Structure 1
Amino acid sequence: MAENNKGEFTLYLPSFSLKNKVIVVTGAGRGIGRAIAIGMAEAGADVALLARTKEDLEETACHIHNKGRKAYVLPTDITSRMEITESVEEVIKTFGKIDILVNNAGMNIRSQALEVTDDEWQKIMDTNLKSAFMISQEVGKHFKEQESGKIITIASVAGHVALRTGVVYAATKAALIQMTKVLALEWGKYNINVNSIGPWYFRTPLTESLLKDEEYVNDILAVTPLKRIGELPELVGPAVFLASDAGNYVSGQTLFVDGGMKIQGF
């Protein structure tokens, strides 16, 4: 503890607890979204789970209930403004508030630039970028009214470094990083923190097939100072930090969780 000029003692270590917080997580049915949703519940939060597939969300909800927290399953097409608006209203009606939004929903189609179709372009743009903006906008209105809130968007190292992940995916992730900065700038006066997390390769259902390719994995490890693939729990800590009081003075930042990859490039 430290003594202030009034003779009062203050704890230096801020709270990482999310007790009594209500968190919305998109793409919460599996992978990174599921891990973050469960981790937020472990930290004390109740979680509203959004994704298209009800069965996946119910499985995530089961894990959260086992942690002793509430989980609300909301099958939602996150590319639909109407469905986003309805789901946000339903969360507020059920819990009375939203404290944190985690924009995690995303997808990729690994086409070479000369082979990208208009349909592929639009699908990736709508899922990764447009959806994140629309739900940030809808939840942001609520945050402005309550004069508090936090948004955490899952971007990617691909938004900062040129990678073999596909040009459209990279463009959406770069845009999410810039969107984070602009929203933080616009909404800071309403006591809204906006940050993003930029992961490198983690073991998820989406990367499972890629990580079975030994040559591909060796290429990844060659540019990763920690010389290993990330594990999902290693993304949860940074997310909880940004969501908790410990991250109250952090805004407009992208926290790269990449084993040091970004300092080298591919």
Structure 2
Amino acid sequence: MLPVTPTFRLDGRKAFIAGASRGIGLAAAAALSEAGAEVFVAARSKSELDSVCDELRADGRRATSIALDVTDSRAVDAAFDEFGPFEIVVHSVGINRPVDLVDVLDGDLDTMISVNVRSAFVVTRAAARSMRDLDKGSIILVSSQMGHVGSPRRTVYSATKHALEGLAKSLAWEVGANNVRVNTICPTFIETELTKPMLQAVGFREWATQRNALGRIGTVEEIMGAVVFLAGDASSLMTGSSLMLDAGWTAQ
């Protein structure tokens, strides 16, 4: 008898997406809902989330908005208690303030660590607790190619993304016995609101495209398939791993 390909459908599953009001987080929510999951989209801006949910519902998808500061552990835990448990949790929250390390301000350092790292720990902790009772689940952290390499003017950002890689690897061992998987997605530069100022800077787009094998900047649509893959049964043997969507940046 021929083996049967595991389904890429996510019908009947609930997904929590942090940072879903725009960019990669929005693309993740759209991808998961298109695959059949009921999505719970979280971010600080309720108006943006409501617009996202209106669009998803207009297309016949199930969506709920959760206005939430994901650096606030009590608020995150309360949201998981109220709306969970979730079989799929995506953390797509991050900021970057490119500058040489010697010029990094304490306030910017604290903000990047809080938004990029603390929020990931808070969300994954809530996810791990929730999934422990379900005895199944997939946690997906949106990391970066900078979680595997270094780059000028990105010392703090790279450090925070390296932290996510360590978090995913260690947590995978803690929750694996409960059939919970933890992986990262590591994109190259993607056209988003976050990267727009950088990509508009003189010479930056050329600098970036010369450093990947495909010679171009990525789009959010090119992240969506990876999210669906990691969320479902097709990746059931994958945990503690990094899915590189870096156009070959780290291949040299």
TM-score range, shorter chain: over 0.9
For the pair 1:157 / 2:145, whether they are aligned, the reply is: yes
Pairing of 1:76-115 with structure 2 (within 5 A): 76-92=68-84, 97-115=85-103
For the pair 1:45 / 2:37, whether they are aligned, the reply is: yes
For the pair 1:17 / 2:5, whether they are aligned, the reply is: no
Q: TM-score, normalised by structure 1?
A: 0.91
Q: Give 5+ residue unaligned stretches, structure 2.
A: none
1:67 is displaced (CA, Å) by 2.9
Instruction: Call closer, same or farther: CA 1:229–1:33 in 2, change over 3 Å.
Output: same
Question: Residues of 2 paired with 1:165 and 1:154: CA distance?
Answer: 20
Q: TM-score, normalised by structure 2?
A: 0.96
1:200 to 181, 185, 188: 188
- C-alpha root-mean-square deviation of aligned residues, in Å? 1.2
Report the residue type matching 1:43 in the other structure: A
1:214 is displaced (CA, Å) by 5.3
1:165 is displaced (CA, Å) by 4.8
Larger radius of gyration: 1
1:60 to 52, 64, 69: 52
Report the residue type matching 2:135 in the other structure: E
Q: Is the 8 A contact 1:110 1:166 kept in 2?
A: yes
The number of equivalent residue pairs is 252
1:91 is displaced (CA, Å) by 1.2
1:217 is displaced (CA, Å) by 0.9
Question: Residues of 2 paired with 1:146 and 1:221: CA distance?
Answer: 43
Report the residue type matching 1:87 in the other structure: A
Question: Residues of 2 paired with 1:66 and 1:249: CA distance?
Answer: 35
| Structure 2 residue matching 1:256: 3-state secondary structure | strand
Question: Residues of 2 paired with 1:120 and 1:209: CA distance?
Answer: 17
Instruction: Call closer, same or farther: CA 1:80–1:263 in 2, change over 3 Å.
Output: same
2:64 to 72, 81, 104: 72
Pairing of 1:22-41 with structure 2 (within 5 A): 22-41=14-33
Match of 2:177 in 1: 189
Q: After the TM superposition, which of the residue ranges 244-253 and 106-115 deviates more from structure 2?
A: 106-115
Match of 2:248 in 1: 260
Report the residue type matching 2:139 in the other structure: I
Match of 1:6 in 2: none
Percent identity between the two aligned chains: 32
Question: Residues of 2 paired with 1:214 and 1:43: CA distance?
Answer: 39
Question: Residues of 1 paired with 2:9 and 2:89: CA distance?
Answer: 16
